[in-house]
Structure 1
Amino acid sequence: MSRQAQAAVLFLLGASLLHAGFTDLYLRYVKVGLRPMLLASGAVLIAAALATVWYEWRARKTAPEHAEDGHTGDTGHTDRTDHTGHAHREPRVSWLLVLPLFALILVAPPALGSYSALRTGTALQQPYGYAELPADGALRLSLVDYAGRAVYDHGRTLKGRQIKVAGFVALDKSGAPYLVRMALSCCAADAQPVKVGLTGRIPPVLQPDTWLEVTGTYTAQRTKDPVNNGPIPFLQVSSAAPVRAPQDPYDETWNN
């Protein structure tokens, strides 16, 4: 791979990172807090590409001057010739480095859904504390916040309150429905599910990966996740309505 090709790959990769960082595409890969680092990485790669082009141009420009002085200079060509006159090329396998770039540009992976959720144990963790809740009215909570309060606070701040949570549907082998959010610590590669079981007035037809906003009340009912024996609380459903998937499909509140 010549220096020009290396510079082109660096530039395209940097531009792709900047494109992902300036749009919502980056949310498919990393958490919101890593956006500045993603943008900085893209800028550094573009700067490296421009520096490579400048170095190559300078080497080509100065090569004739060295030749006139009786010196030989490295013109930056990738074809290397030894004293026998044989040319040596870099291995073509180096072009495989371009494949991840095309994957980033051409393929926007969907957010992890029910398939991953049912094959991974719940990642619910005990929070360090609980934010104050409004004294009256319906409570609109994140699914992770509701699950943490229901399990580790035993629903103390939830009893007698109308609760609204949103997540996507997952159905286990028996058809039992769960409302799920994938929680992440850094990036999509370490995403793990937090699950809430649904009971009460459950819609008769549920499709996996459908996003729902569920209104209901706290119930002390619990079960164990069959994958890792982690606790799964339940929500007593009074109504449920389909909603659009959120801009950020992942939940980051579990490790705050």
Structure 2
Amino acid sequence: MKRETQNILLVLLGGALLKIGFTGAYLNYVKPSFQWMVLATGAVMVLLALFAIARDLKKHVRGAAADGDAHEHAHGRSSWMLMLPVLAIFLIAPPALGSDSVTRNDGRSVAQSERKTGGAKFDPLPPGDVVPITMTDFVTRSAWDDANTLNDRTVRMSGFIVRDKNSTLMARLVMGCCAADATPVRVRLEGDPSASGYAVDSWVEVTGRIQPGTATEANSYTPSLTVTSIKQIPIPEMPYE
């Protein structure tokens, strides 16, 4: 690869990291605490590229002979193709993982990794007619809560729509450090036929009550929720839990 191509790749890749770092798009790939790493890496790459470009300009080396130039031109075209993925990241940042990642997950769930056997004690849910709750907390409680704190309580949570054969599920991906290790949590939506009308990957806010005993090892700890209300919402700034 020619030095000019290397330098431009560094500028574009570093610029892409700075762009997603400042705009918040980095949250599609890593946890919020990693923002400074994304920005620092992008800044270092841009500075290295600018230093190399300045050094090459000072040298101001002329091209090789005419026959050598033709060879370099042919070789350079293949090198420029390497810039396409970088340009794609810079111009169109890929979205967060969605339903495809959930359906290809072989049934793994956060609840399975939290505890394999036995129960657990959870803090009581706060008072109120409707309790806001994360999907991770809801699914983990449904699988392991000895006190059954979810029973007879109306909860509100958000996620994206997933289709599982003839069922409609709401899911969320839980990130350990980055999108590569994200593990899903799922809730089966029942009781409201309108839930099936939402497109896959649509983000929704759902209110409802758990159907006790529906989260089992056989269904990868996927509880069923009797839906009392559902509405579409914008994609949240932080799509992972």
TM-score, with structure 1 as normaliser: 0.76
Greater mean deviation of Cα atoms: 99-108 or 31-40: 99-108
Shift of 1:46: 0.9
Identity %: 35
Do structure 1's residue 98 and structure 2's residue 83 form an aligned pair? yes
Alignment of structure 1 residues 187-206 onto 2, 5 Å: 187-203=178-194, 205-206=196-197
Greater mean deviation of Cα atoms: 138-147 or 112-121: 112-121
Do 2:121 and 2:147's aligned partners in 1 also have CA atoms closer than 8 Å? no
Q: Distance in 2 between matches of 1:159 and 1:220?
A: 7
Structure 1 or 2, whichever has the larger Rg, is 1
Do 2:142 and 2:215's aligned partners in 1 also have CA atoms closer than 8 Å? no
What is the aligned counterpart of 2:135 among 133, 143, 157? Answer: 143
State the one-letter code of the partner of 1:28.
Answer: N
Secondary structure at 1:213 match in 2: strand
Secondary structure at 1:108 match in 2: coil
* Residue of structure 1 equivalent to 2:55: 55
* Residue of structure 2 equivalent to 1:231: 221
Q: Distance in 1 between matches of 2:141 and 2:175?
A: 19
Secondary structure at 1:150 match in 2: helix
Shift of 1:20: 0.8
Do structure 1's residue 126 and structure 2's residue 114 form an aligned pair? yes
Structure 2 stretches of 5 or more lacking a match?
none
* Residue of structure 1 equivalent to 2:173: 182
Label 1:180 to 1:238 Cα distance change in 2 as closer, same or farther (>3 A): same
Q: Distance in 2 between matches of 1:145 and 1:166?
A: 12
Label 1:177 to 1:114 Cα distance change in 2 as closer, same or farther (>3 A): same
Per-residue Cα deviation, 1:170-213 (whole angstroms, up to 9, x for no partner): 1211x111111122223333333211112334426422222221
What is the aligned counterpart of 2:163 among 153, 156, 171? Answer: 171
RMSD: 3.0
* Residue of structure 2 equivalent to 1:254: none
* Residue of structure 2 equivalent to 1:108: 93
